Amino acid sequence: MRSSNPKKRSLAHKTVLHILTGSIAAYKAGDLIRELRDAGARVRCVMTESSKHFVTPLVLRALSGEPVYHDFFSPDTPYDVLHTTLAEESDLILAAPASADFIARLAAGMAGDLASCIVLATRKPVVLVPAMNDQMYTHPLTRKNIETLKGIGYHFIDPVKGRLVCGRDAIGHVSEPQTVVARVAALLKN
């Protein structure tokens, strides 16, 4: 049941386009979608090809109540120009989790898949929530890519220290859904 608490409905009448990338942290997508919807947001999901190794389109469709997009060329795509339509219809683009690869491709201006094309086509706020191994997150190239994207106005919700897949407790664990929702709500309030 959706909350009727006005404080929890901080995203009422907002559309969040949620991009999932290839990170084990994608398993938390369900909790994030639920939190966004509880805050009143319409959530539309776009998956990179590698994200499908961690969560299925069917799960995301069930949780979001919306079609899930992953392919430019799907015959059941309802739009002529999918990437620009999804970009224009969204109030905010949220990549959570954002893998090192996705961040690097965005920083280089690459547009080889639906998710990166949407980011390039939008002029709405873009929020990236990195999740990766600590060695990858602290690598100079990843740091440079993050600074490049921050320099053009993208927002980041930094990873936290937590138990990583490799077994270490280190920085790189995806930020909690409540933290992400609070930041998204603050950005859209402004």
Of 166, 169, 178, 186, the active-site residue reads: 166
Burial-class residue 143 by CB neighbours within 10 Å (0-12, 13-18, 19+). exposed
Nearest CA to 101 out of 134, 140, 142, 139 is that of: 142
Find out whether 143 and 111 touch, Cβ atoms under 8 Å.
no
| 166 phi, psi to nearest 5 deg | -70, -10
Catalytic (active site) residue 45: no
Q: Can you tell me which residue has the tokens 């939190």?
A: 35
DSSP H stretches of helix in the chain: 29-38, 57-64, 82-89, 100-107, 114-121, 134-137, 140-151, 177-189
Would you name the residues annotated as active-site residues? 166
